[in-house]
Amino acid sequence: MAPPLLKLDNIHLTFGGTPLLDRAELSVSPGDRIALVGRNGSGKSTLLKVAAGMVESQEGELFRHPSATIRYLPQAPDFDGFASVRAYVEAGRGPADDPHRVTYLLEQLGLTGEEDPATISGGEARRAALARVLAPQPDILLLDEPTNHLDLATIEWLEEELIRSPSAIVLISHDRRFLERVSRATMWLDRGQTKRIERGFGHFEAWRDQVLEEEERDQHKLGRQIVREEHWLRYGVTARRKRNMRRLGELQEMRQRHRTHRGADGVAKMAASDSAESGKLVIEAKSISKAFGDLVVVKDFSTRISRGDRIGLVGPNGVGKTTLLNMLTGELAPDTGALRLGVNLEIAVLDQKRAQLDPDETLAHFLTRGRGESLTVNGQEKHVASYMKDFLFKPEQMRTPVRELSGGERARLMLARILAQPANLLVLDEPTNDLDMETLDLLQELVARFAGTVILVSHDRDFLDRTVTSTIAPDGGGRWIEYAGGYADMLAQRGSAKFVARPRDKAGKAEQGPAEAAPAAAKPASKKLSYKQKFALESLPKQMDEAQAKIAGLEAKLADPALFAKDPAGFQKIAANLDRERSSLSAMEEEWLELEMLREEIEG
């Protein structure tokens, strides 16, 4: 096994009260792809900062290989002192690094390099920070939420770039599909301690549940053992004094372990407040259009949204998702066309920029809207401290100002306020930003069982596939098309055409014209499958199984931490083969799905 490039042992860090990190460990060897996961506030970002040398632990050891280069992607990059994005990105290169790689990365990420760091958006700032850490191709990449503020096109490009990268990678992300594709090992930070599984994130949740079940069983056994020992202490026949004192000492030790055990963190309890039922028709748009100067954002779009529908809006940043959302909810009038809203609509809105948050306002004041210390939820009055606990806030945080909350806590706070508001139409603009996995699961369940109607904008492919009944996506030139099903269904119906980044002019502004890959030409309906189609439908499952077996074999080879150190060229060759096999499998799956849908259509 190759020696680690980076190793953290018995890291302890506390800011008063319960330790944030308690004997935490992290080991990174050449070729590692580690997903660092855990609840919001569990200390993931802090552990990554300790590894990067930005935070010093109070106890423990930190080893970095003297020749290893490490680059850290922060959640909030600092552009102070840089006149342009290119200057900021080039500052991350070393003397021996390829200068042309900066230009390549800027182009791939939709930047010119001439942008002023003081005026760029959150998404542009994230892309610039990514270009800076990727430019030198370091030995270790430490990535904290690399997909935040990125659109689907950029997330998919970043996946491929990291899969091909020779760097060892430790990454924090709440994007399930991103983690599943990139990671080959998973580190779980839970109650200050780390546990590792040498498998990718796709296997994490089943393993985590098993660990928690075993822990609960062990605690139950310990409790029963304590009861037996106490019974012996009170009623047992006196034996030799030394033996009795030893058992008494062991009993006291067991009591201490049982008393100081930190149970698993609770889960948020989300439920939307009920409202009067809306009419069956919620929104009807007929040929609505919107343009800003010469830029056509929406052109002749029509839809009919009924009660109970869950609609997802997807597309690259800047294509006009929020504009279309505001038009559909009546916040923005269309230039042409007609919009009709249904009767009895009560709308609750979660905006993308969290504009409703005042950094100086306390949590209690924000949740009650300044009306004392209680609020009405589903017709019942509830004390704000009790309601806060449903969203994993402590009662003592009632007087905490919003500015002291983390990004995940702010997201939970916004959801808490929105869900207390009676509504039959939920409008969620990027609701998954900064939420941890468990809270995402609960939000997914809430959206899926919500009795009213939901319209949401998201770049989280897994969340879309699990929640929405139809997906609205751009088709270039201001045209939007509605597809049945989630994101994967939309791709299949488009002919697998993925989104591409919007081209940009020298000023860094998105150019006019089609922003996405055009869908494949629609095939004429066929009354029966051709012989070639039937053969493909029958043979593709076997070919997909063979491809999955090859992928598993290649992944097993790459899992060897010593491979990169002893054979870098071989490592790159296997990684390239793995990339090709994955692409081939994806193409076969999409072809099979198309044929299966065609077969069902003919037989139906």
**pLDDT, tens digit, 9 for 90 and up, residues 542-554:** 888 888 888 888 8
Distance (Å, rounded) from C-alpha 305 to C-alpha 564? 53
The more confidently predicted of residues 352 and 6 is: 6
Residue type, 83: A
pLDDT tens, residue by residue, 323-349 = 999 999 999 999 999 999 998 888 888
The more confidently predicted of residues 94 and 277 is: 94
Side-chain-side CA neighbours of 254 within 13 Å: the count stands at: 19
Mean pLDDT (whole number) for 383-407: 84
Encode burial over 260-280: b for 16+ CB neighbours within 10 A, e otherwise.
eeeeeeeebebebbebeebee
Distance (Å, rounded) from C-alpha 581 to C-alpha 588? 10
Question: What values do phi and psi take at 122, rounded to 5?
Answer: -60, -40
How much of the chain, in percent, has pLDDT values that exceed 70? 84
The more confidently predicted of residues 435 and 87 is: 87
pLDDT above 50 for 316: yes
Q: How confident is the model at residue 83 (pLDDT cuts 50, 70, 90)?
A: very high
- Given this model, what pLDDT does residue 64 score? 94
Give the lowest-confidence range in 101-110, 266-275, 347-356, 362-371: 266-275
- Given this model, what pLDDT does residue 325 score? 93
Domain 6-204 classification at class level: alpha beta
- Given this model, what pLDDT does residue 252 score? 64
The more confidently predicted of residues 436 and 14 is: 14
Q: How confident is the model at residue 512 (pLDDT cuts 50, 70, 90)?
A: very low
Mean pLDDT (whole number) for 8-15: 92
**Token pair for 573:** 């060759």
Give the lowest-confidence range in 50-59, 214-223, 228-237, 444-453: 228-237
pLDDT above 80 for 218: no
pLDDT tens, residue by residue, 98-141 = 889 999 999 999 999 999 998 888 788 999 999 999 999 999 99
The CATH H-level (homologous superfamily) assignment of domain 531-603 is Valyl-tRNA synthetase, C-terminal domain (1.10.287.380)
- Given this model, what pLDDT does residue 443 score? 83
pLDDT above 70 for 73: yes
Q: What pTM, to 2 d.p., does this model score? A: 0.67
User: What is the residue-averaged pLDDT of the chain?
Assistant: 82
Distance (Å, rounded) from C-alpha 442 to C-alpha 39? 13
Other CB atoms within a 10 A radius of the CB of residue 565 amount to 16
- Given this model, what pLDDT does residue 572 score? 79
Distance (Å, rounded) from C-alpha 490 to C-alpha 483? 6
Instruction: Indicate the burial class of 361 (C-beta count within 10 angstroms; 0-12, 13-18, 19 or more).
Output: middle
Distance (Å, rounded) from C-alpha 148 to C-alpha 158? 12
- Given this model, what pLDDT does residue 413 score? 86
pLDDT tens, residue by residue, 221-268 = 767 766 666 655 555 544 444 445 565 566 566 656 655 555 555 555
